[in-house]
Amino acid sequence: MHQQFKFKTTQDLLQKAEELDLNLPFQESLDPLFETITIGSKTIPNRFAVQPMEGFDSNPDGSPSEYTFRRYKRYAEGGSGLIWFEATSVVQEGRSNPRQLLLNKRTLDSFKQLVDHTRQSAHKEFGNSHDPFLVLQITHSGRYSKPEGKPLNKVGCYNPHLDKRKEDITLFSDDELDRLKETLVEAVRLTHKAGFDAVDIKACHGYLLHELLSVYTRTNSRYGGSFENRIRLLVDVVKQAQQEIPEITIAVRMNATDGIPYPYGFGVPEDGSLVIDLSEPKVLISKLIENGCSLLNITTGIPYHSPQLVRPFDRPIGGSSVPKEHPLEGVMRLLNVTGELQREFNNIPFVGTGYSWLRNFYPYIGAAVIERGMASLIGLGRGSFAYPDAPKDLMNTGKMIHRKSCITCSKCTELMRQNNITGCVTRDSEIYGNEYKTIRQD
Ligand SMILES: Cc1cc2nc3c(=O)[nH]c(=O)nc-3n(C[C@H](O)[C@H](O)[C@H](O)COP(=O)(O)O)c2cc1C
């Protein structure tokens, strides 16, 4: 049964985990979070990661605005060793929102400034030896493209679980997908020129490269039907990027399971049930590694379809119902899925997802996850909007402050869905509380 977070002590939390029969990793010592880790040629100062979080605050041309600079400055000054920059479109028509970041030759300089500013902010706060690892997530929003605010309804394949009316959609042609491959590889080149340490070829949450992984019913196409065809675009981009721009680390944020039945979802069995089936994701991961991917970030679900799989929460967005499962079960699913994959592919680091619901108790779970080899870095999404300096507080005092933590109220998601600039309404209220008032008045 769904319940809101109401735990005063870690003992209360562990008791609930036991009641739910969950083997929640937990340890008192936070030392594993402060261990360094090496990715490629770079040593990362600690195991705290900021997950990619769209702020929808770019300038109209897709370059970062003063709000974008502010968000990344806060992350850098907060001490996380790895900062995973948000979904950034590689073409105008693939933007999910008129204010989604857009990387191209014209905006490149502004991205360079964003990288420099973020690094300098970290160096100023912690000294030059604390150099955060900066990853940029590049994407095409596919089904969720709304470059002018209205859906373009263009998809890899009709999906009755996600599309309202088959008549309204058009399909990407194979030629368009071939061209997109070249554009994505060019964007990897630009990402490297901007000064990022790594690029993430986004393959999660229903956006185009993720959608393609489950287009079983796309016919007469090099990108549909067989497993080899469905993974083609993602694997080819990784391969070509690695060959042409070997200086940059290649990462993939990918869905391990979608919560949508076969033949429309990835990471589910062919019997039509929603049981998690990691067999295809595992083969995909081995192919990605073989072709040059050296960092993975695991997530599940599709925000518009199964938000509880993406981000366990106390309150859903306005108008939606609460899921049946307890949010702690949602957290545990993410931990277990990532754990199984990290243990199988233990030669490359995985970033874990889904910790924000745990509030100020997440470090005890995160430290135990690292200790047990279930992930190498602990990623915070909504928690980073709310409390970007949690790592710094932990460094200085060994504790987080409860009243600075994310309360998983879903107001950041509501801002995003209404095309507003996005951040924490509750803990960063001067900007985003005021922004939220504007949508409440509508
Ligand atoms: C407002 C908002 C924006 C997000 N933007 C992105 C994004 O750009 N790329 C991405 O892969 N995930 C995105 N996510 C998902 C988060 O990265 C993360 O996976 C999710 O919130 C669960 O982690 P958490 O429990 O720490 O919040 C977003 C989530 C929210 C609520």
Domains, the chain, ordered by start: 10-397 (3.20.20.70)
d(CA 364, CA 308): 22
Mean pLDDT along residues 221-242 = 98
- Residue 217 — very low, low, confident or very high, per pLDDT cuts 50/70/90? very high
Whether 51 lines ligand 1, by a CB cut-off of 6 Å, is yes
Ligand 1 centre to CA of 205 (Å) is 9
Question: What secondary structure letter does DSSP report for 275?
Answer: -
Task: Inform me whether the pLDDT recorded for 442 exceeds 60.
Answer: no
d(CA 188, CA 198): 9
Mean pLDDT along residues 409-421 = 96
10 Å CB burial of residue 134 (0-12, 13-18, 19+) is buried
Whether 412 lines ligand 1, by a CB cut-off of 6 Å, is yes
Ligand 1 centre to CA of 258 (Å) is 15
Q: Which of 5, 50, 54, 413 to mutate to test the pocket of ligand 1 (most atoms within 8 A of CB)?
A: 54
In the block, tokens 């089936």 appear at: 277
Residue pair 240/30 in contact (Cβ under 8 Å)? The answer is no
Which pairs from 168-176 meet CB under 8 Å and 24+ separation? 171/218, 172/142, 172/208, 174/221, 174/222, 174/223
Mean pLDDT along residues 33-53 = 97
pLDDT given for residue 441 in this prediction: 66
The SS3 of residue 387 is coil
Nearest to 51 by CA among 291, 353, 285, 329: 353
Whether 404 lines ligand 1, by a CB cut-off of 6 Å, is no
The SS3 of residue 33 is helix
Digit-coded pLDDT (tens) for 375-405: 999 999 999 999 999 999 999 999 999 999 9
Whether 424 lines ligand 1, by a CB cut-off of 6 Å, is no
Other beta carbons within 10 angstroms of residue 407's beta carbon come to 21
d(CA 381, CA 406): 10
Question: What secondary structure letter does DSSP report for 203?
Answer: B
d(CA 105, CA 191): 10
- Reported pTM: 0.98
Residue pair 138/103 in contact (Cβ under 8 Å)? The answer is yes
Whether 251 lines ligand 1, by a CB cut-off of 6 Å, is no
Ligand 1 centre to CA of 28 (Å) is 27
Whether 252 lines ligand 1, by a CB cut-off of 6 Å, is no
Token digits of residue 77: 């000054």
- Phi, psi (degrees; rounded to nearest 5) at 307: -60, -30
Other beta carbons within 10 angstroms of residue 344's beta carbon come to 11
Mean pLDDT of the chain: 97
Digit-coded pLDDT (tens) for 175-208: 999 999 999 999 999 999 999 999 999 999 999 9
Q: Which of 310, 369, 411, 421 to mutate to test the pocket of ligand 1 (most atoms within 8 A of CB)?
A: 310
Residue pair 346/370 in contact (Cβ under 8 Å)? The answer is no
Whether 308 lines ligand 1, by a CB cut-off of 6 Å, is no
Token digits of residue 79: 């001490």
Nearest alpha carbon, ligand 1 atom 13: 53
In this prediction, what percent of the chain has a pLDDT beyond 70?
Answer: 100
pLDDT given for residue 361 in this prediction: 98
Nearest alpha carbon, ligand 1 atom 5: 53
Nearest alpha carbon, ligand 1 atom 16: 381
Whether 353 lines ligand 1, by a CB cut-off of 6 Å, is yes
Task: Inform me whether the pLDDT recorded for 300 exceeds 90.
Answer: yes
Task: Inform me whether the pLDDT recorded for 74 exceeds 70.
Answer: yes
Residue pair 419/97 in contact (Cβ under 8 Å)? The answer is yes
- Phi, psi (degrees; rounded to nearest 5) at 219: -110, 165
Closest-lying ligand 1 atom to the alpha carbon of residue 297: 11
Question: What secondary structure letter does DSSP report for 199?
Answer: E
Query: What spatial distance separates the first Cα and last Cα of the chain, rounded to whole Å?
Result: 33
Q: How many residues are listed for the chain in this entry? A: 442
Mean pLDDT along residues 360-364 = 98
Nearest alpha carbon, ligand 1 atom 14: 53
